[in-house]
Amino acid sequence: MAEMTSTERVMCVLRNEEPDRIPHFEWIIDRRVRQAICPGCSMEEFTVRMGLDAILTGPDFKKEQIGPKRYRNEWGVVSEDTGEEHAFPVDGPIKSLEDLHNYEPPDPHAPGRYDSVQKMVKRYKGRLAVGVHLNDVFSIPRYLAGFEGVLMAIVAEPELVRGLVELSVETNIAMAKEVARRGVDFIFTGDDYAAAERPFMSPASFREFLAEPLRRVVAGFHEAGLPIIKHTDGKIGPLMNMILDSEIDCLDPIDPIAGLDIGEIKQKYGDRVALKGNVDCAHTLTFGSEEDVVNETKEVIRKAAHGGGLILSSSNSIHSAVKPGNYLAMWNALRMYGKYPISLQSWGPSDTGNTFA
């Protein structure tokens, strides 16, 4: 097979087809890991210099500082800087149905909203797949009303939940149309639905409040011409068919700490959805040896690469506790063993893949 561009490679996988080699990119690579590997690099520079296959961006939302480590963004959500790549939301503007009726979300069509998107498209269109972070049906409600607030409202004030979800669907479809006009390649959403032990809500509640809106927002993204990579951590088995019925193109990250096995998911659902994942960033990438990482990377390839439809990455992100050498071990193992046709017969117990200088 002729060598593909990164854009062609990622889009091939999102069609659940077999590319020239398995693509790789991460939602987050913490600055401490980046600096250890590539001193002085921004995430954009790191992406280019390391040969990752997608460049990621999002709409621009203003924020104001309201405390030593606290900021309020255009959504009215207050977040606290924890020193990690993303701040942690601590308070939202909606506590009741009346608050929702009086609430105005950020204008999806505001001037300057897509300056970062346009910059990335201009620089990388055709070379790297350009992905834009939007949301689907749960993150915006939980940010606006608080995680506990949304879950309590399912019982106490269901119309509040429906209103928050509808706001999320409408706003994100509008933003998808805007980014599609600017030439992006795909959307990724990060709305988690589950913890390691169980989903955040019962399957019955998910079906009642989120399943149909999820189908609508995914349909809206597709109508704009954009495939979607859907991220959710946790034990999503009880919700799996409802998630896949929305017709997402790719599911991420097949969470190993929730007991999910990427081989089993590939075997059972691989004809319905591409997969992204899932080298364990909670344990292997953080505490394991480079040999452990290489072996697990090869195991992910062995289990999920056949027939295509795989983006290899960590099981969530390259967070600040990941050993830089372990990230490089995963990166290098993928370069060594991720080219199609995949051949694993020559692997041996002494094969660590530790060949980078």
Query: Is the residue at 6 inside a domain?
Result: yes
Query: Is the residue at 120 inside a domain?
Result: no
How far is it, in rounded angstroms, from Cα 310 to Cα 13? 6
Residue 4 near residue 12, CB atoms below 8 Å: yes
Which pLDDT tens digit goes with each residue over 161-182?
Answer: 999 999 999 999 999 999 999 9
Write phi, then psi, for 118 (nearest 5 degrees): -60, -40
With bands split at pLDDT 50, 70 and 90, how would you rate the model's confidence at 351?
A: very low
Model confidence, pTM: 0.94
- Using CA of residue 124, residue 188, residue 235, residue 142, what is the dihedral sign? positive
pLDDT of 185 strictly over 70: yes
pLDDT attached to residue 169: 98
131, exposed or middle or buried, with CB in 10 Å at 0-12, 13-18, 19+? buried
Query: Is the residue at 189 inside a domain?
Result: no
Query: Is the residue at 41 inside a domain?
Result: yes
With bands split at pLDDT 50, 70 and 90, how would you rate the model's confidence at 103?
A: very high
Query: Is the residue at 57 inside a domain?
Result: no
Query: Is the residue at 298 inside a domain?
Result: yes
Query: Is the residue at 283 inside a domain?
Result: yes
Residue 145 near residue 160, CB atoms below 8 Å: yes
pLDDT attached to residue 347: 36
With bands split at pLDDT 50, 70 and 90, how would you rate the model's confidence at 18?
A: very high
pLDDT attached to residue 222: 98
- Residue 330, domain extent: 1-52+269-357
pLDDT attached to residue 328: 98
How far is it, in rounded angstroms, from Cα 328 to Cα 326? 5
How far is it, in rounded angstroms, from Cα 48 to Cα 34? 12
Percentage of the residues of the chain whose pLDDT score is greater than 70: 96
pLDDT of 352 strictly over 50: no
More confident residue, 335 or 82: 335
How far is it, in rounded angstroms, from Cα 248 to Cα 251? 7
- What is the biggest distance separating any 2 CA atoms in the chain, rounded to whole angstroms? 64
Which pLDDT tens digit goes with each residue over 125-159?
Answer: 999 999 999 999 999 999 999 999 999 999 999 99
Query: Is the residue at 27 inside a domain?
Result: yes
Q: For the chain, what is the mean pLDDT?
A: 95
Count the domains in the chain: 1
Task: Give the SS3 label for residue 231.
Answer: strand
Cross-sheet strand order for the sheet of 228-231: 54-57, 129-134, 186-189, 228-231, 250-252, 274-279, 310-314
pLDDT attached to residue 249: 98
